[in-house]
Amino acid sequence: MHTIAPSRRHLCAFALAAAGMLALAAPAAQAAYPEQPVKLVVGFPPGGGGDLYGRLIANAMGRTLGQTVVVDNRAGAGGNIAADIVAKARPDGYTILLAMSGNLAVSPAMKPQSLPYKVPDDFTAIGLILEAPHGLFVSQGSRFRTARELLDAARTQKLSFASTGTGGAAHIGMEMVKQKAGVEMLHVPYKGSGPAITDMMGGQVDSFFATASPLVGQVRQGQLRLLAITGEKRNPAIPEVPTFKELGVNVPVTQWYGLVAPAGTPQAVVKLLSDHLSRALATPEVRDAIRKDAATEHDLPMNGFRSFVVDDIARYKAAITPSLMKEISQ
């Protein structure tokens, strides 16, 4: 029995047919995303800091994506460990990062050479989630009733401010306040807001500069006094608190959170994730949870968010002075 070798024409026809089938299959495979749970890497321990925002967004996006968005807590190094994990992850849309001002703006501005990742090069922007103002706090028994009183006193007296860490977003924010107001104040770093507030209540430090949202409850309960906040305008949740800008001390930096994916993630996947983030931010449940403690949702998708990050890095770089760099490097 003779076997008939396929002609070159037949082989070409088969190759063309196979290529056509693959071309038809490609969009179908792409359209199937997400085929498995999406992992959201968060640089905080469960229940701490931005973890609450991460879980809020993960739950809301999971409902509309049709796949679970799983929060993976990778705390440490101010969120830089989490950022490095995502920067080196496979760019397929199944590993994304809860980015924040600390790991994607402050650290790249202050110590880019020591980071194992580059911003914005190693990431693809999905979208901004929210901004929360930083605030200048004093104890309820403080002699300072307004930020103007405190800043005026700092010109002639040796006053101090606490923060939750040297080189953090809040620390640099207060350095900006000092620069714009033309005052000197001693920085006293702590390893958390609890010890800082305890010492402020006891009179060991005069003030505390921190992200306002986690402490709004203590302000409402009368334990703390919030003298002023950063940002462009007053916050509707605390309308009685003036901005530094109103005092002629324009400090635009905020604590922000957003979503990014590894660089090289397909544009169609990034766009899908961005669209579902926008849908989440438009829901009353998410909006109310963000707004109740003086944060503000900010739906800024993709390239707009990337530009926001680049601009924020520039704002922090502008605050660098030789004395500040010396303090950070110690």
**For 133-253+322-329, which CATH class?**
alpha beta
Q: What does the pLDDT profile of the chain (330 residues) look like in tens digits?
A: 454 455 555 544 454 454 455 444 444 444 589 999 999 999 989 987 689 999 999 999 999 999 999 999 999 988 999 999 999 999 999 999 999 999 999 999 999 999 999 999 999 999 999 999 999 999 999 999 999 999 999 999 999 999 998 999 999 999 999 999 999 999 999 988 999 999 999 999 999 999 999 999 999 999 999 999 999 999 999 999 999 999 999 998 999 999 999 999 999 999 999 999 999 999 999 999 999 989 999 999 999 999 999 999 999 999 888 888 888 877
Q: What is the CA radius of gyration of the chain?
A: 24
Return the structure tokens found at 289.
């949870």
DSSP per-residue codes, 54-81 = HHHHHHHHHHHHTS-EEEEE---GGGHH
- Name the CATH superfamily for 38-131+255-318: Bordetella uptake gene, domain 1 (3.40.190.150)
Answer whether 82's CB lies under 8 Å from 260's CB: no
DSSP per-residue codes, 269-290 = HHHHHHHHHHHHHTSHHHHHHH
Nearest to 330 by CA among 167, 108, 163: 167
Our CA angle for 76, 77, 83, nearest 5°, is 85
Distance (Å, rounded) from C-alpha 115 to C-alpha 7? 59
Residue 110 amino acid letter: M
Fold identical between 38-131+255-318 and 133-253+322-329?
yes
Domain ranges for the chain: 38-131+255-318, 133-253+322-329
